[in-house]
Amino acid sequence: MSKKKVTVEVKNNLKNLVLLIEALDGFRRGRGISLSVMEKAYYNITIDLPIKWKYIRRIIQSLIRYPMKDGRVFRHYKLLRWARTLTNTGIVMIIIGTVIALIFGRSELTLASLIIGVGLVYSMFFLNWYSLKQIYKYYDEHANELSSRTKKLKDAAQILINIMREELIKNGISPTKYPLRLYNVDYKGIEVISKPTFYRKTYLCIVSTEEES
């Protein structure tokens, strides 16, 4: 590849394409991110994308709503909200207890605040982990039922991968500078660099810039 100066605009486009591809791929397995984060990334891309954000959002929302029919999954989503709220409460209590201890010295009140705060954070961490595990399990067990919805996400991710490939080639950028962390590797034009490990549940991939035979 010939070297050429890469503009900030191109770098931002590639960074946001990576975010969108990884998010679309993650939603295929129930591992989503905030839609507002995705929307911001989408509209920060200056390339004229052939798929509209409203279309992407509609597919994702349909996929998210589907498991809600199962009362157990709905309960775990509610537990997730409670876990996040109580985790924030615990962190605030730890901060308040620490500040009071630093200013006025240790007391039974500050000690109690710290103990409760730490207890909340740890217990909510495990509740969050357990609820997410059950939600992910549902998506894995109902993959066939969700296939029509996840197929659309796969197609959208493939379109973005193709665009990313064109941008890498056009600007002479090494694909290793913009790796993809994917749960699924059934896309055309990607190379798997590393398989999932105990600590990383995704495949480490790059977009292939080699000429197709």
Of 16-25, 68-77, 98-107, 111-120, the poorest mean pLDDT is in: 68-77
DSSP state of 187: -
DSSP state of 47: S
CA-CA-CA-CA dihedral for 70, 73, 75, 77, to nearest 10: -130
Residue 68: pLDDT band (50, 70, 90) is: low
> Tokens at residue 25, please?
């791929």
> Does the pLDDT value for residue 1 go beyond 50?
no
Residue-wise pLDDT tens digits, 77-112:
677 677 777 787 878 877 877 877 777 766 676 777
| Helices (H), ranges, the chain | 8-27, 35-44, 53-65, 71-104, 108-141, 147-170
Residue-wise pLDDT tens digits, 142-170:
767 677 778 999 999 999 999 999 999 99
Closest C-alpha among 55, 65, 67 to residue 155: 55
Q: What is the CA radius of gyration of the chain?
A: 22
> Does the pLDDT value for residue 206 go beyond 90?
yes
CA separation, residue 170 to residues 4, 6, 132, 174, 199 (Å): 10, 10, 40, 11, 35
pTM, whole model, 2 decimals? 0.73
- Secondary structure (3-state) at 141: helix
Closest C-alpha among 143, 138, 164 to residue 153: 143
What residue segments make up the domains of the chain, in order of their start? 8-68+144-178, 69-141
- Other C-beta atoms within 10 Å of 168: how many? 22
CA distance 93 to 80: 20
> Tokens at residue 135, please?
């939600």
Task: Give the CA count within 13 Å in the CB-facing half-sphere of 140.
Answer: 9
